């Protein structure tokens, strides 16, 4: 294993961003070169992350590809990075979706292209750094740094309400992360270190665990988002350009779920047991509430945004079942949802970019004009519902297996995401794709181009791969989850959970 590989994956996008920023020449030449440099940089980073995946040994406990250097040693702060089975696949998800976002933005982003590609690569560096950080201060720095490119991409290249959406996204996330900063300072005061592996084994008093977990829930609950901390989501997802929406919903929201798992469930098992009934309830509310709101939408992109919110409720339920099956299901659902929701947003963009409207009422019979999109769209719609043979089914099934150990009603209500999802997704598909060919905008539609297929086909293949051969992914993170949940302290904390809901 070469620890430098992880550093290359983290900072190569930053190098690509600097190369783009320093380009000189005519505006047209810079735009073309910016796209190609961003694409080849992101593809190289993805290839290196696949090498890390291939060399990673899930049987070895703890973190691998570790790098550690003094940063502020006298304060117990170091530059410490590495990956375990959980964080590795989120690094892979980030590096997989970034080149798709570059290709997807080839025609969609036409103004200030160089700046956009710089922001996109900066966001990739912050995401990879966030998932691989093993020092809490380093994690906080990367977590906050995602706000800069994220909010700029919404505020500069977004839709008519982009400034309001960008401000909401920034203020909600920044406000929430202040609670994480307070928790970080409290942990540092008590232990004298911010090293995550050390903090994982620190014995915090039960009352202090509760206060610390509350801080992390408020911080990561905004990013996830948990109900009722979701007010920023519909506008941010709808107003952002599609490649940005893909990264926000596909990866950045998973940073919230990853944080809840790493710094909530696994670090504070006693407090997690006490908070579980409340978080499970909020997760179930999100599943049902967001699905009902989605059904009432007339904007295709906004409907998919609420669909994403509903599925993140399922992930919250899986995490706080505090069982290996539930946590495995939540992680698997995060990965599959990241791919599926990205594909759905790009499917919407393929139609709305041509027709210059996202109104569902403006379309009918699009399948007659765009049969390839209709075929791929049906696959992603079914995957979003949780059809067997797709990745989402595996994740939702494991979450329900974990939830049934806690409460039949939690499992039943969380599982209703499949039924409710079928209602709003099939209604959307029927109204847009099926029926008699519409006149006006529909008559002018043409089927998918090569770049659009280059985005959607990889998503389709990964979705089917995760559904048909889930062991490829489960074997990577399941040992880490089982080891963490089966630790003596965690076992003692989690045992009473099964009685709390009976």
Task: Tell me the pLDDT tens digit for each residue of 321-349.
Answer: 888 888 999 999 999 999 999 999 999 99
> Where on the phi/psi map is residue 395: left (φ > 0), alpha (ψ -120 to 50), or beta?
alpha
Instruction: Give residue-wise pLDDT tens across range 218-254.
Output: 999 888 888 888 888 888 888 888 899 989 888 888 8
Q: Supply the pLDDT for residue 459.
A: 94
Give the span between the Cα atoms of 156 and 347, in whole angstroms: 23
Q: Which residue has the higher pLDDT, 2 or 365?
A: 365
Q: What is the mean pLDDT of residues 33-52?
A: 93
The boundaries of the domain holding residue 341 are 288-482
Q: Evaluate whether residue 445 is within a structural domain.
A: yes
User: pLDDT over 90 for what percent of the chain?
Assistant: 32
Q: Evaluate whether residue 279 is within a structural domain.
A: no
Q: Kindly report the three-state secondary structure assignment for every residue of 36-99.
A: HHHHHHHHHHHHHHHHHHHHCCCCCCCCEEEEEEEEEHHHCEEEEEEECHHHHHHHHHHHHHHH
Listed in sequence order, the DSSP H helices in 406-449 are 408-433
Instruction: Give residue-wise pLDDT tens across range 210-220.
Output: 999 999 999 99
Q: Evaluate whether residue 467 is within a structural domain.
A: yes
Closest CA to 230 of 294, 141, 184: 294
Average pLDDT value for the chain: 87
The number of residues in the chain equals 502
Q: Evaluate whether residue 71 is within a structural domain.
A: no
Element (H, E) at 65: strand 64-72
Q: Evaluate whether residue 96 is within a structural domain.
A: no
Q: Evaluate whether residue 139 is within a structural domain.
A: no
Q: Evaluate whether residue 376 is within a structural domain.
A: yes
Place of tokens 């997690």: 272
Q: How many domains are there within the chain?
A: 1
CA 237, 347, 284, 336 dihedral sign is negative
First to last CA, the chain: 47
Q: Supply the pLDDT for residue 1.
A: 57
Encoded tokens for 370: 């765009």
Q: Evaluate whether residue 402 is within a structural domain.
A: yes
Closest CA to 498 of 257, 207, 265, 276: 276
Segment among 111-125, 284-298, 427-441 with least mean pLDDT: 427-441
């Amino acid at each position: 294993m070469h620890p430098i590989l992880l550093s290359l994956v983290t900072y190569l996008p930053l190098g690509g961003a600097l190369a783009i920023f320093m380009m000189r020449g005519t505006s047209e030449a810079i735009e073309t070169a910016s796209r190609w440099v961003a694409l080849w940089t992101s593809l190289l980073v993805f290839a290196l992350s696949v090498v890390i995946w291939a060399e990673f040994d899930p049987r070895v406990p703890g973190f691998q590809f570790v790098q550690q250097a003094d940063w502020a040693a006298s304060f117990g702060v170091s530059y410490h990075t590495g990956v375990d089975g959980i964080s590795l696949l989120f690094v892979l998800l980030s590096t997989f979706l970034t080149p798709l976002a570059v290709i997807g933005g080839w025609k969609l982003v036409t103004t200030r292209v160089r700046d956009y590609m710089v922001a996109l690569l900066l966001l990739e560096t912050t995401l990879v750094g966030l998932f691989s950080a093993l020092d809490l201060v380093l994690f906080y720095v990367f977590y906050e740094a995602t706000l800069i490119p994220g909010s700029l991409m919404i505020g500069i290249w977004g839709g008519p309400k982009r400034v309001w959406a960008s401000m909401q996204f920034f203020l909600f996330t920044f406000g929430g992360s202040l609670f994480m900063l307070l928790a970080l300072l409290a942990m540092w005061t008590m232990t004298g270190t911010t090293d995550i592996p050390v903090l994982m084994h620190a014995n915090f008093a039960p009352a202090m665990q509760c206060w610390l977990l509350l801080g992390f829930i408020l911080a990561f609950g905004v990013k996830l988002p948990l109900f009722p901390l979701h007010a920023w989501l519909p506008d941010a997802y709808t107003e952002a350009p599609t490649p940005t929406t893909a990264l926000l919903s596909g990866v950045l929201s998973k940073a919230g779920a990853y944080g809840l798992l790493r710094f909530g469930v696994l670090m504070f098992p006693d407090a997690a047991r006490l908070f579980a009934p409340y978080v499970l309830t909020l997760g179930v509310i999100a599943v049902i509430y967001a699905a009902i709101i989605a059904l009432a939408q007339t904007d295709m992109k906004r409907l998919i945004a609420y669909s994403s919110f509903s599925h993140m409720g399922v992930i919250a339920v899986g995490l706080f079942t505090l069982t290996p099956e539930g946590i495995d299901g939540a992680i698997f659902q995060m990965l599959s949802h990241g791919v599926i929701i990205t594909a759905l947003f790009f499917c919407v963009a393929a139609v709305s970019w041509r027709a210059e409207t996202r109104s569902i009422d403006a379309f009918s019979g699009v399948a007659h004009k765009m049969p390839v999109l209709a075929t791929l769209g049906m696959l992603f719609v079914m995957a979003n519902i949780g059809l067997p043979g797709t990745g989402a089914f595996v994740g939702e099934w494991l979450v329900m297996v974990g939830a049934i150990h806690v409460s039949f009603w939690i499992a039943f209500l969380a599982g209703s995401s499949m039924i409710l999802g079928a209602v709003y997704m099939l209604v959307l598909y029927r109204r847009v794709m099926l029926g008699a060919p519409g006149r006006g905008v529909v008559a002018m539609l043409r089927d998918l181009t090569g770049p659009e297929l280059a985005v959607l086909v990889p998503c389709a293949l990964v979705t089917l791969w995760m559904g048909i051969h889930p062991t490829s992914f489960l074997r990577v993170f399941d040992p880490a989850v089982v080891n963490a949940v089966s630790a003596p302290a965690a076992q003692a904390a989690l045992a009473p959970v099964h009685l709390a809901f009976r």
